Amino acid sequence: MKFINLLKKELSELINLQMILGLVVALGIFMVLGGIMDTTIDEAKEETTNVTIRLCDRDNTEYTKSLIESIKKDGNKVKIFETSGSDYAAILDENDIKDLIIIPEGFTAALEKSERPEIITVSRMKSAATLSNLNVGTSSGLSIIKDKIAADVASRNGMSAQDYSIIETPVQVRENTVVDDKSAEIAPGDIMSKIALQNSIMPLIVFVLIIMTSQMLMSAVANEKTDKTLETLLSAPVSRGAVIGAKMLAAAIIALINAGVYMFGFTFFVSGATDTVADAAKELVESSLSVDEAISKLGLTLGGLDYFLVGLQLFFTIMICLSVSLILGALVNDSKNTQNMIMPIMMLAMIPYMISVLADINGLPAVFRYIVYAIPFTHTFSAIPNLMFGNRTLFFAGLIYQMIVFAICMFFALRLFMSDKIFTISLNFGQKSKYKSRKRKAEKAAASKKEE
Amino acid sequence: MSDVLEVRGLTKQYSKVLAADKVSFTIGEGEIFALIGPNGAGKTTTIRMISTLLMPTAGDAIVAGHSVVKEPAKVRECITYLPDEAGAYKNMTGLRYLRFMAGLFVSDIDGINAAVERAKEMCGLGDRLEDKIGSYSRGMIRKLLLSRAVMTRPKLAILDEPTSGLDVLNAIEIRKMIKELAEKEKMSFLLSSHNMLEIEFVSDRVGIITGGHLMVTGSADELKERYGANNLEEVFERVVKEHEVH
């Protein structure tokens, strides 16, 4: 009953309008981003499947005319533009297009002289974003023109169509990917593009969870201390263990709600992208396995036990955050210092988070690897990759290490809270200690009185 | 008059500082005892030890038959403590705060409701109890906290600077309330204050503490007579100076 009362109080302190607004805004941002991503990829997909080759024939010879006709006959959409000059920006603007292939004057003449003729391409770059600069028309148009000319030259030199086909594609590549002891006929790049996006969710959620949990508990303890409500609370007939337990549980509940919302939002954002890309990939390579089938065949999916283990590791990560935050919160003697106190936890979360996003932690040089392994949060960031790629020993070693770290941190947190130190300990960050300055004043006053 | 509090040689030694040195005194049932002394004299340390917040280095304090060293949980059931400059949870309404605190002392709903009703009457905040504490003035918070400290009828209420932050009229009201609770409900009080006028008016007995030592105890009249002083302020000055000379 008393514990429920304490828990309700802690939850009501943490759930406020600011927190709810923050969650709604975060969810909204993810949904809007997801929608934008979906539309952008749809447009890119549309452009990939319905390619329009925009051409300008400035050579205007029989050869170039027949070349264009031949491209059209093969079922390609071709749009012809009449342009002049070299102000390409003005040409794109006037015709309201974003790319153009120009066959310049002298193209046929050069070809007849067995010289390499020039072709000019113009593409507008809108931004640094990859998808915004996708100009499929130019690249596929160029490729078709090159093939036509190569086939033409080969034919003129007496080469059969079959021989030319072998020269054009000398080998049939059948790409296979092996994970642990399983293999599937798929390019590693296709697998990576899907799981990299999926695996980027977990580190983000873990990072948000670590920072949010720590911040909440630290502020809860620091505010109780600076407002002197802690003294009132601990002098009431309720055990210190219940006070700490209620604070930790409330912070964990709120952090999990936040993590759930972030996970939902981010999954919404990512699913649009992965589904569309995966569909496009499947359409393009109909004969081979779909990406999802290949991922399943390679054992890169997580089972029920794996999800339980990931959840268990996440639980210990939160518990470590909570126990460390209890200690750091108790050291605060001014609510302004709470922001400074979060720095150690933020750094410990940031290092493995950045590494996990940019590189494989297990692939780092030995010295760096062990330093990063010593950070307890590292094992949470590498939990899913470890389970996916069969590094179970490493996963369980990380889990046991986290349990030990939690036990040590909790031992010190409880010792601090059960002792007098909870009221006397503080870090001042360069400020003068109230106690010391008071003592100094009293000593000065005593000395001056004695002199009198 | 049976003793509600018996302090026996209570000592607190921090690494280099002796904050309280063998402090001993008693408080009877329905008695108001005031602990006065200069800043850093050891008042708050003594009060915190009796409130079970700090563990004594030596000695003990028996509250309603329970030792603060051996049975701190039992002691906490008999006391309430109002720290100096204490705050309250700013996001809670006054009423929610009273209910929350009552829930820590009383387990049944009827008991909680009765305690809250009592606090509502005593604090005199009326409809403002429905507002968040963050919007309260310092005086309003103090009245809320004082009513919280006595709403559960503790055997011993420990009030550190009970009227700090209150205007004259409110302070008078609070002093009257403390005296009434002691007389009519036999509630005992351990007060600490810098306001000598307040101490003289409200307390039955006074203890002057300086440098961690409890120098003298007695009623205001006894102390004035012993030191040949006109008021408690003069007694205080003489006791503190006496200690500095020694």
Is the minimum CB–CB distance between B50 and chain A shorter than 8 Å? no
Mutate: best of B12, B45, B104, partner A, most A CBs <10 A? B104
> From the CB of residue A55, how many other CB atoms can be counted at a distance below 10 Å?
20
Tell me how far apart the alpha carbons of residues A116 and B71 are, in angstroms, rounded to a whole number: 99
Q: What is the pLDDT of residue A287?
A: 46
Which is more confident, A274 or B35? B35
Question: Which residue of A9, A13, A225, A239 to mutate against B (max B Cβ within 10 Å)?
Answer: A9
Most confident of A203-212, A217-226, A419-428, B203-212: B203-212
pLDDT band at A314; cut points 50, 70, 90:
confident
- Confidence check: pLDDT of A145 > 90: no
3-state secondary structure B153-208: CCCEEEEECCCCCCCHHHHHHHHHHHHHHHHHHCCEEEEECCCHHHHHHHCCEEEE
Q: Sorting pLDDT into bands at 50, 70 and 90, what band is A275?
A: low
Looking at A42-51, A384-393, B156-165, which range is the least confident one? A42-51
Sign of CA dihedral B93, B94, B95, B101: positive
- CB < 8 Å to B89, chain A: 9, 13, 227, 229
Overall average pLDDT of the A362-371 stretch: 87
The answer to whether B105 contacts A237, with C-beta atoms less than 8 Å apart, is yes
Using CA atoms, how far apart are residues B193 and B171, in angstroms rounded to an integer?
12
Lowest model confidence (mean pLDDT) among A49-53, A56-60, B69-73, B242-246: B242-246
Q: Does B79 touch chain A (CB under 8 A)?
A: yes
CA distance B120 to chain A (A): 19
pTM of the model: 0.74
The residue that leads in pLDDT, A270 or A31, is A31
Question: Which residues of chain A have a CB within 8 Å of the CB of B107?
Answer: 1-2
**The residue type at B96:** R
Residues β-bridged to residue B209 = B214
B170 to chain A nearest CA, in Å?
22
CA distance A36 to A31: 9
ipTM: 0.91
Q: Is B73 on the interface with A (CB under 8 A)?
A: yes
Beta bridge partners of A52: A77
> Does the beta carbon of B53 lie under 8 angstroms from any beta carbon of chain A?
yes
Lowest model confidence (mean pLDDT) among A244-258, B26-40, B65-79, B89-103: A244-258
- Inter-chain contact B104–A2, Cβ cutoff 8 Å? yes
Q: Is the pLDDT of residue B51 over 70?
A: yes
A-B contacts at Cβ under 8 angstroms:
87
* Reported confidence tier of residue A20, pLDDT bands at 50, 70, 90: confident
Interface test with A, best of B17, B49, B53, B156 (most A CBs within 10 A): B53
Sheet containing strand A99-103, edge to edge, reads A77-80, A52-57, A99-103, A120-123
Closest alpha carbon to B199 in B31, B32, B26: B32
Question: How far is the alpha carbon of B244 from chain A, nearest alpha carbon, in Å?
Answer: 8
For the segment A367-405, what is each residue's pLDDT rounded down to a tens digit?
A: 888 999 999 999 988 888 888 888 889 999 999 999 999
Closest approach of chain B CAs to the CA of A414, in angstroms? 15
Residue A443 pLDDT exceeds 80? no
Q: Does B237 touch chain A (CB under 8 A)?
A: no
Amino acid B100: pLDDT: 94
Is A13 at the interface with chain B, CB within 8 A? yes
Contacts of B100 in chain A (CB under 8 A): 5, 8-9
The pLDDT tens digits for B91-136 are 899 999 999 999 999 888 999 999 999 999 988 888 999 999 999 9
Q: Which residues of A touch B73 (CB under 8 A)?
A: 237, 239
Architecture of the domain defined by B28-245: 3-Layer(aba) Sandwich (3.40)
- Structural domains of chain A ordered from first start: 2-30+187-437 (no CATH), 52-171 (3.40.1710.10)
Confidence of residue A335 (pLDDT cuts 50, 70, 90): low
- Is residue B76 within 8 angstroms of chain A, CB to CB? yes
Q: Is A442 on the interface with B (CB under 8 A)?
A: yes
Q: Which of B45, B89, B92, B141 to mutate to test binding with chain A, by most A CBs within 10 Å of its CB?
A: B89
Cβ contacts of B156 on chain A, cutoff 8 Å? none
**Alpha carbon of A221: minimum distance to chain B alpha carbons (Å):** 12
Residues of A in contact with B108 (CB under 8 A): none
